[in-house]
Structure 1
Amino acid sequence: MRFILVVTLFTLGIYSPLKAQYTYFPQQGTISYEKTIFIKNLVKRYGAYAKDENSKQMMLSLLDRLPENHVFKKKASFSDKEVLFEHVKEDYTESVRMMMQMGVIESGIITYQNLGEKRMKSSFDLGGQSILVDDQVVDVKWKITNEYRSIAGYNCRRANGLVMDSIYVVAFYTDEIPVSAGPSSFNGLPGMILGLAVPELHYNIFATKVDLTPLSPGALDIGKKKAKAMTRKEVYDQLNAVLVGFLGEKMFNLVMAGYYL
């Protein structure tokens, strides 16, 4: 009996560390996201930020033609050092296409993050121009909380953040995927962000599926872009010269935040 007890304790003592040692922490795969933009609320904010009464009424006149919200499909391919966040093209209603063409809602941003080098690239069209950003990763000041929720089958912890000095964000990350990144330009938490809300920009992004199949070669390549690469400040300054006279400064800043984040 004593022999059996000793063997049992010895087995548990050896097995437990081995089990912990070989716990699987995925560092490669693909995450499907849904980005919900609350279009009417966003347009109301644009109206509030309009430079004059005529611009405000022009924005608010669109409300009756718009849906309350629209859900865009997104995809993130990731390794332990890189993340490529892409727009999944679909067919859109006429009103949603109009908002995309106007730049009121984003129209297919591609964002690449190199976590080792702390660099990012993003590609999008705005103001009739093809834009390529090449800059440092976006800095977010995070404060981790003790709130949890389940997203796409993963236990996620809440963090509140501040980005671009004044934009408040809420993220839910999982340390079961130990890659410090997330959708769009977001990063900097001790795990992958599977849920994100940006109240000022009236959108949220939540993962719907995580596929841990190894990536094919070239899956994280943003591709060759004809546009000249610029920093976020250079893009801001160039578009500011073209658009701020038409939009006004507050509305222009809101547009740029939507494309940077």
Structure 2
Amino acid sequence: MKLFISTIFFLVLSLGMASAQYTFFPQQGVITYDKTVHVKNLMRRHIQSLKDGDFSKKYFEEMMTKVPETAVLTKKVSFSDQEVSVEPVEKEQPQMIANLLRMGLLDYGSKIYQNIGKDESLMTMEIGGSQINIKDSLTNVKWKITNEYRNIAGYDCRRANGVTLDSVYVVAFYTDQIPTSASPSTLHGLPGMILGLVVPEQHFNIYATKVEMTAATPNANIFKKKADTTTRKQTRDRMKEILGQWMSDKQFNLIIAAMFL
């Protein structure tokens, strides 16, 4: 009897160790995210950053009385090992929200490709009918991991607070069950995929709604061939040259942070 019990115990222990040893950590997949923008709060922040006497202040104040409190956009992240691409998912929006999107005030509709292993980041967007292609290293983020946890899309996630682009504060919830160090934005550097992201300064949050573990090919061919390629610094300097003469520094920095996130 003792021999029988010992044998059963050994088998159970062996199966448990085998299960732990072969825990599945997906290397490929597609994640769908909803980005909720608090429209009125964001517009209020832009209005507060305008220069005194700016002619557009009255226009935005009037527009703010007509827009909804929030707008929900959708992003798709495809990942495979150390490669990640982020793309917007097109969907119908109320006319006022569609107008704000065309102006770039809520989202730039950027496409992003990152190769984490090679420290490479590509980003493309359209502003004022012109294509902007940015090729640079990955953005720097200073992270502090906390002991707060949350379940997102069925995954246990841990909170991390970060600072990027010199002064932009972000809150991320990542899962080490998906080991690719990426997010639905340019942010990276945590020991797993970010499934939840909050950027208070930009008045938006992004949370995963669906995780599909399937073969995925991140899109690295996001640039239009005819457009020039610049770095983040070159893009910022060029934008400052064009917009700096009629924008306050606060508004310009707000716009640039939204572009590079």
TM-score, length-scaled by structure 2: 0.94
Q: Does 1:8 align with 2:8?
A: yes
Letter in 2 for 1:53: G
Once the two structures are TM-superposed, the CA of residue 65 in structure 1 deviates from its matched residue by 2.1
Amino acid in the other structure paired with 2:26: P
Partner of 2:34: 34
1:84/1:113 contact within 8 Å kept: yes
| Residue equivalent to 1:57 | 58
* Counterpart code for 1:223: I
Separation in 1, partners of 2:110, 2:256 = 12
Report the Cα offset of residue 51 of structure 1.
1.6
- Distance in 1 of aligned mates of 2:126 and 2:245: 19
Shift of 1:111: 0.9
Q: How does 1:178-197 map to 2 (within 5 A)?
A: 178-197=179-198
Q: Map 1:47-86 onto structure 2 (within 5 A).
A: 47-54=47-54, 55-86=56-87
In 2, are the aligned partners of 1:73 and 1:88 still within 8 Å (CA)?
yes
1:238 alignment partner in structure 2: 238
How many residue pairs are counted as aligned between the two chains? Answer: 259
Q: Evaluate the alpha carbon distance shift between residue 224 and residue 124 of structure 1 in structure 2; reply closer, same or farther with a 3 A threshold.
A: closer
- Match for residue 222 of structure 2? 223
**One-letter code aligned to 1:111:** I
Q: Distance in 2 between matches of 1:148 and 1:138?
A: 25
Aligned to 1:162: 163
Whether the 8 Å CA contact 2:80–2:218 is kept in 1: the answer is no
* TM-score (ref. length: structure 1): 0.94
Contact 1:159–1:171 (CA under 8 A) maintained in structure 2? yes
**Which shows bigger deviation, 100-109 or 70-79?**
100-109
Q: Aligned partners of 1:184, 1:203: CA distance in 2, in Å?
A: 12
8 Å CA contact retained: 1:85, 1:184: yes
Q: Is 1:30–1:213's contact at 8 Å kept on the other side of the alignment?
A: yes
Contact 1:110–1:222 (8 Å) recurs in 2: no
Aligned-pair distance for 1:139? 1.0
Q: Displacement, 1:255?
A: 0.8
- Bigger Cα displacement from structure 2, 199-208 vs 250-259: 250-259
Determine the C-alpha separation between the residues in 1 that align with 2:179 and 2:252: 36
**Which string of whole-angstrom CA distances, capped at 9 and with x for unpartnered residues, describes residues 212-242 of structure 1?**
0112xx5433334232111100011111111
Aligned to 2:144: 143
Deviation at 1:69, TM superposition (A): 1.0
Q: Is the 8 A contact 1:27 1:79 kept in 2?
A: yes
Give % identity: 45
Deviates more, 1:84-93 or 1:219-228: 219-228
The amino acid of 1:17's aligned partner reads M
Q: How big is the shift at 1:248? A: 2.5
Taking the aligned partners of 2:19 and 2:158, their CA distance within structure 1 comes to 24
Please report how far the alpha carbon of residue 3 of structure 1 lies from its aligned counterpart in structure 2 after TM superposition: 1.3
Structure 1 residue 62 displacement after superposition = 1.7
Partner of 1:205: 206
Q: Take 1:199 and 1:111, find their aligned partners in 2: how far apart are those partners?
A: 22
Task: List gaps (5 residues or longer) in structure 2.
Answer: none
Conserved 8 A contact 1:78-1:220: no
Cα offset, 1:100, TM superposition: 1.7
